[in-house]
Amino acid sequence: MKTLNRPINRREFIGQAACAGLSFAGVLSTVGTLRLFSAAASAQSIPADTSKILVCLFLYGGNDANNTLVPRDLTAYNAYARDRGILALPRESLLPIGIPNDDGREFGLHPAMAPLQSLFNDGRMAIVCNVGTLVAPITKAEYLSGGAAIPPHLFSHNDQQVQWQTSVPDSPRKVGWGGRMADLLQSLNAGSNISMNISIAGSNFFQVGEEVIQYHVTPQGSIGLNQVDATWSPVREGYQAMSNMLGRSYGHIFEQEYANIINRAVANDTLLKTSLAAVPDYTDKFANSLLPGGGLSPTAAQLRMILRLISARQTLGMQRQIFFAALGGFDTHDEQLDDHNALLAQLSNAIADFYHATRDLGIADKVTLFTASDFNRTYNSNGKGSDHAWGGHHVVVGDAVNGGRLYGEMPALEIQGPQDTGTRGSWIPTISTDEMSATLARWFGIAESDLPLVLPNISRFARPNLGFMHL
């Protein structure tokens, strides 16, 4: 596979896309054929008693990374305050983070992120800087000239969410890189009837595989057929009629397969409910995420269920698990300061509570959580908020993380600066989603030789291992 150390131009992009209609489909169609060979090779290199769990926490709407990680040294802060205007956070409110071997610059986290400040300074959290969707590396001059391919529909929520989750911006196929990992490694969960990919936040593209199908549960547990108010005869009789239909044999292949799917869903629901009944509730592990009126914040409720599913992994026969959780509301076009503060407080408390729970359970080295989002937001304000931008920063948390460091390059925070696409402060990414994903995939157990099956564009980028995970 040819390595591209420069952006591909539009003619090359169109030509490659025409071939990719076959080559990319061919690559993914071979996953089913190569899966046993690749998984067998991976299984030989991974101890049989080692489990690893990957948690994607998606921030829907586009998190304002510019107020998540902020320069604190006086010169840089003054420039930040000038350009961010009404959105600038007071310098004294920023939470300092220690960065070893730095270049003299100082940074602080948003004042609502104290729990994550502690994790970073303890070496349990890393920050990946200026990461975003890319077709290939690109400079500002190439972007402005229009001679290089860029991700299609660059500032569109739906398109950028899909591209983040699939890591293939130049293909219409909607197979996620989490799904492709599960296709390759599912033999490590041999004997388990539950999917490796479980979502606590509804349908997503990240977990879509060619073979593996994402399994949906709610923060309260799995959803199944149950005899609600079974003492009422119409409900009881309806439930019995459904059971009778599912128990029949059908001559039509589609009718039979539909019945098989429903029967599997019912059986999996029963298995999951039984397994979860045997593990603790864990609400006590999320004390910092309790709401004033009782109950957990939406993010904490999702992470609590993930923690319970992790605890049930041995009963379920799972050595690999991929989870998807989400928090919405980051499309802060208005009232950004208040809304973003509340969102980051919820996020930080939930992530920190989840991490400390994994430490208490002795599995913090087996669980890695990372954030992702549509895109960053513009550096300058539209009045009380900001608009859609491009490259942003994301956190990775866990004991397998080489934490306490910034990875990648902080953009030059200058309106019309060397990484601004225009006049509003929308940073061209210097780290691709492929590179961040590849680093996580290698930790999860994907062999280096199999990375192109998970991330077909990875050869276009120079850093398939950013170094933020202990491999």
Summarised one tens digit per residue, pLDDT across range 323-338 is 999 999 999 999 999 9
- Res 129: pLDDT: 98
Partner residues linked to 369 by β-bridges:
55, 397
Q: What single DSSP character describes residue 134?
A: -
For the chain, the helix, strand and coil percentages under 3-state DSSP, each to the nearest 5? 45, 15, 40
**For residue range 63-104, what is the model confidence (pLDDT) as tens digits?**
999 999 999 999 999 999 999 999 999 999 999 998 876 667
What's the whole-number mean pLDDT along residues 275-290? 97
- Res 231: pLDDT: 64
What's the CA gap between 58 and 65, in Å, rounded? Answer: 14
| Least reliable range by pLDDT among 15-19, 249-253, 308-312, 455-459 | 15-19
What's the CA gap between 324 and 57, in Å, rounded? Answer: 6
> Cα–chain-centroid distance for residue 282?
23
- Res 248: pLDDT: 78
- Res 99: pLDDT: 85
**Token pair for 406:** 């910034």
What's the whole-number mean pLDDT along residues 276-296? 96
Nearest C-alpha neighbor of 134 from the set 379, 458, 370, 467: 458
- Res 171: pLDDT: 82
Nearest C-alpha neighbor of 8 from the set 375, 459, 443: 459
CA atoms in the 13 A half-sphere facing the CB of 286 = 29
- Res 102: pLDDT: 61
- ∠ CA(361), CA(364), CA(367), 5° rounding? 115
**For residue range 390-432, what is the model confidence (pLDDT) as tens digits?**
999 999 999 999 999 999 999 999 999 999 999 999 999 999 9
257 pLDDT tier (thresholds 50, 70, 90): confident
Please say if the pLDDT value at position 247 is more than 80: no
Please say if the pLDDT value at position 32 is more than 70: no
Please say if the pLDDT value at position 9 is more than 60: no
> Cα–chain-centroid distance for residue 385?
25
Nearest C-alpha neighbor of 440 from the set 137, 191, 208, 131: 131
What's the whole-number mean pLDDT along residues 368-374? 98
- Res 194: pLDDT: 94
Over pLDDT 70: what percentage of the chain? 85
What's the whole-number mean pLDDT along residues 263-280? 88
Q: Which of residues 168 and 103 earns the better pLDDT score?
A: 168
What's the CA gap between 40 and 58, in Å, rounded? Answer: 31
Instruction: Please report the beta strands in 272-383, taking only residues with DSSP state E, as ranges in sequence order.
Output: 320-327, 367-373
Instruction: Please report the beta strands in 422-462, taking only residues with DSSP state E, as ranges in sequence order.
Output: 431-432
What's the whole-number mean pLDDT along residues 109-122? 98
What's the whole-number mean pLDDT along residues 361-367? 97
Residue 126 burial (CB < 10 Å; 0-12/13-18/19+)? Answer: buried
What's the CA gap between 406 and 129, in Å, rounded? Answer: 7
Q: What single DSSP character describes residue 424?
A: S
Tell me which residue has tokens 């939930």.
350
Residue 99 burial (CB < 10 Å; 0-12/13-18/19+)? Answer: middle
Q: Which of residues 265 and 17 earns the better pLDDT score?
A: 265
What's the CA gap between 61 and 375, in Å, rounded? Answer: 8
Tell me which residue has tokens 């489990």.
51
The torsion angles phi and psi of 84, rounded to 5 degrees, stand at -80, -25
Q: Is residue 223 classed as helix, strand or coil in its secondary structure?
A: coil
Across the chain, what does the average pLDDT equal? 88
Q: Is residue 145 classed as helix, strand or coil in its secondary structure?
A: helix
CB 64 within 8 A of CB 333: no
User: pTM, whole model, 2 decimals?
Assistant: 0.88
Partner residues linked to 420 by β-bridges:
427
4 pLDDT tier (thresholds 50, 70, 90): very low
- Res 255: pLDDT: 79
Please say if the pLDDT value at position 57 is more than 70: yes
SS3 string of 63-104? CCHHHCEEECCHHHHHHHHHHHHHHCCCHHHCEEECCCCCCC
What's the whole-number mean pLDDT along residues 10-25? 38
How far separated are the first and last CA of the chain, in Å rounded?
25
